[in-house]
């Protein structure tokens, strides 16, 4: 494997820890492509849910998978979320809710979903120069990545940030409700049998509870040499 193929940064960690902000910022500085793997799980969850499928039922979900084609496009403004398309229809506005996050966590436990999306992600990253964020990008998707990080923060801190973000977007947010969803998602993502959320053995662990996204990016850059 060439050095350029290994030019991949992986950033894994639990829900609401600030992975997207940090990954987008880092990708911009490095001139790499930002790969939001969670958006792909959210797209599958949206596709299944909108067709009335029970997302906890692996057989039902697997039957629908051949009908889905997912694509990601860069946003118009660099600070915005990646644009997500399901069967050529833009679904970006529907997939960023806490509820869709929980549904995405449920579909992500099914083997056929993980195989499909892991292959897609590996195809996107095969030439390197990628910042990939998710739950298993350092452990499963790009185990050969040159730079791996695991970003963490307390559930309470993550809930507060998510509430602030939602309110800034003019949406209502109940902190206790968000906190319990975050804790449930932590349990589901960490305890599933396939590609559970955990730091890769060779990942740098960063606790972002008391530091800003800009400080996290600076710290990450200190480990990266191009
Ligand atoms: O990062 P996110 O909140 O958009 O992810 C939504 C869910 O998708 C997450 O709770 C678990 C799943 N996911 C995953 O299993 N593996 C990934 N690499 C990314 C997300």
Q: What is the DSSP string of 85-131?
A: EETTEE-GGGS-SHHHHHHHHHHTTSHHHHHHHHHHHHHHTTTS-EE
For 167, the domain range is 3-221
Q: How many helices (H) and strands (E) does the chain have?
A: 8, 8
- The tally of domains found in the chain comes to 1
User: Which pLDDT band holds residue 166 (cuts at 50, 70, 90)?
Assistant: confident
Place of tokens 């930002």: 34
Asked if residue 204 is part of any domain, the answer here is yes
Asked if residue 226 is part of any domain, the answer here is no
How does pLDDT run across 131-149, given as a tens digit for each residue? 999 999 999 999 999 999 9
Any residues with Cβ below 6 Å from ligand 1, and which? 15, 37-38, 41-42, 101, 104-105, 108, 134-137, 185, 189
Atom 2 of ligand 1 has which residue's CA nearest to it? 38
What percentage of the chain carries pLDDT values higher than 70? 100
Instruction: Report the DSSP beta bridge partners of residue 99.
Output: none
How does pLDDT run across 43-77, given as a tens digit for each residue? 999 999 999 999 999 999 999 999 999 999 998 88
How many whole angstroms from 27 Cα to the centroid of ligand 1? 19
Contact 85, 78 (CB under 8 A): no
User: Which pLDDT band holds residue 226 (cuts at 50, 70, 90)?
Assistant: confident
Classify 213 as helix, strand or coil: helix
Which CATH number fits the domain that encloses residue 134?
3.40.50.300
Contact 55, 45 (CB under 8 A): yes
Looking at residue 65, the DSSP 8-state letter turns out to be G
């Amino acid at each position: 494997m060439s050095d350029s193929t290994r030019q991949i940064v992986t950033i894994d960690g639990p829900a609401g820890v600030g992975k997207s902000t940090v990954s987008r910022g880092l990708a911009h500085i490095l001139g790499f492509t930002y790969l939001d793997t969670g958006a792909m799980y959210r797209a599958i969850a949206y596709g299944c849910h909108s067709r009335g499928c029970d997302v906890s039922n692996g057989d039902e979900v697997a039957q629908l998978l051949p009908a889905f084609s997912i694509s990601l496009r860069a946003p118009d403004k660099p600070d915005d979320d990646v644009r997500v398309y399901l069967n050529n229809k833009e679904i970006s506005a529907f997939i960023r809710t806490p509820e869709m996050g929980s549904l995405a966590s449920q579909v992500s436990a099914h083997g056929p979903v993980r195989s499909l999306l892991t292959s897609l992600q590996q195809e996107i990253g095969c030439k390197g120069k990628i910042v990939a964020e998710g739950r298993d990008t350092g452990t499963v998707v790009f185990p050969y990545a040159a730079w791996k990080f695991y970003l963490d923060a307390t559930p309470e801190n993550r809930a507060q940030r998510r509430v602030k973000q939602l309110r800034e977007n003019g949406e209502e947010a109940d902190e206790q409700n968000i906190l319990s969803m975050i804790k449930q998602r932590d349990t589901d993502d960490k305890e599933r049998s396939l590609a559970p959320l955990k730091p890769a053995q060779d990942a740098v662990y960063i606790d972002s509870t008391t530091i800003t996204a800009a400080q996290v990016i600076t710290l990450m850059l200190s480990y990266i040499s191009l």
